[in-house]
Structure 1
Amino acid sequence: MRATLDHYAPVMLSVLRIMAALIFMAHGTQKVLGFPPHPNPPGLTTLPGIAGILELVGGALLALGLLTRPVAFILSGEMAFAYFIGHAPRGFFPTLNGGDAAILYCFVFLYLVFAGPGPLSLDAARHRAGA
């Protein structure tokens, strides 16, 4: 059983990256593109607007597995910043201050900095091609 699970671990790393990126990207589409509709859309030059651009572009790059490590590093920092600026002032407990998703994204993206994109990625394809 362990050999089978170990065999699929790299593919599951890619699946984790893709799913986290797609869900994360939805936050950017809401802020930047208005889909799904946002009750109070931010201006693109505000902190939430800039965050939306990072979420949309960074999420797309992570979903494709392109420039995974540097993009994941930037997005991990964005989520740490978002937690401490937007959530922590509302209280200590993440379940009460609404910051649990920001913490989870921060550490998933930080893991991707070290683990890389996995085999189902444009980074891996470029590496196999010798680029």
Structure 2
Amino acid sequence: MRMLDNLGRYAPHALALLRIIAALLFIQHGTMKLFGFPVTGAGGGAAGLSALMLLAALIETIGGLLLLFGFLTRPAAFILCGEMAVAYFMAHAPRGFFPLANGGDLAILFCFVFLYLFFAGPGAWSVDGKRSA
């Protein structure tokens, strides 16, 4: 199809949208742990967190902000990918084999989105892009 041949020129923008939306969704996981926002009914706040959960919350919030702005995208994505792999195998996999049943499907999806961002880079609309220009 001739009409679809030119879609490749929008790839950097689509990549940037993936990075930005994934970051906005991911930041919520960190802020919920740190501040109880957005409210989920499960509580929240750094005072009640274990050291491991506090570290996860800081990684999610700071790493998510780095991805949001496309600053240090590849190192941040690599760390976030690793965090999600660890989260899956520590918290979800012990609850069962199937990700949908053990609640780990989102962790796996985030892990592979971050892995893709590590290899693909930030796309358009990024601090990294402005720094290299």
Which TM-score applies when normalising by structure 1? Answer: 0.92
Query: Match for 2:4: what amino acid?
Result: R
Aligned position for 2:131: 126
Give the CA deviation at 1:36: 1.5
Q: Aligned match of 2:30 in 21, 28, 31?
A: 28
Aligned position for 1:97: 102
For the 8 Å contact 2:99–2:105, the answer to whether it is kept is: yes
Query: Match for 2:35: what amino acid?
Result: L
Aligned length: 128
Query: Match for 1:66: what amino acid?
Result: F
Give the CA deviation at 1:44: 4.8
Residues 75-90 of structure 1 mapped to structure 2, 5 A cutoff: 75-90=80-95
Give the CA deviation at 1:34: 1.5
Give the CA deviation at 1:120: 1.1
Aligned position for 1:2: 4
Give the CA deviation at 1:4: 2.6
Q: Aligned match of 2:116 in 107, 111, 124?
A: 111
Aligned residues with identical type, % of pairs: 59
For the 8 Å contact 2:20–2:69, the answer to whether it is kept is: yes
Residues 10-25 of structure 1 mapped to structure 2, 5 A cutoff: 10-25=12-27
Where does structure 1 lack aligned partners over 5 or more consecutive residues?
none
Query: Match for 1:98: what amino acid?
Result: G
Aligned position for 2:70: 65
Give the CA deviation at 1:12: 0.3
Where does structure 2 lack aligned partners over 5 or more consecutive residues?
none
For the 8 Å contact 2:36–2:43, the answer to whether it is kept is: no
Report which stretch shifted further, 31-40 or 55-64: 31-40
Query: Match for 2:101: what amino acid?
Result: L
Cα deviations across residues 83-113 of structure 1 (Å, max 9, x unaligned)?
A: 0000000000000000000000000000111
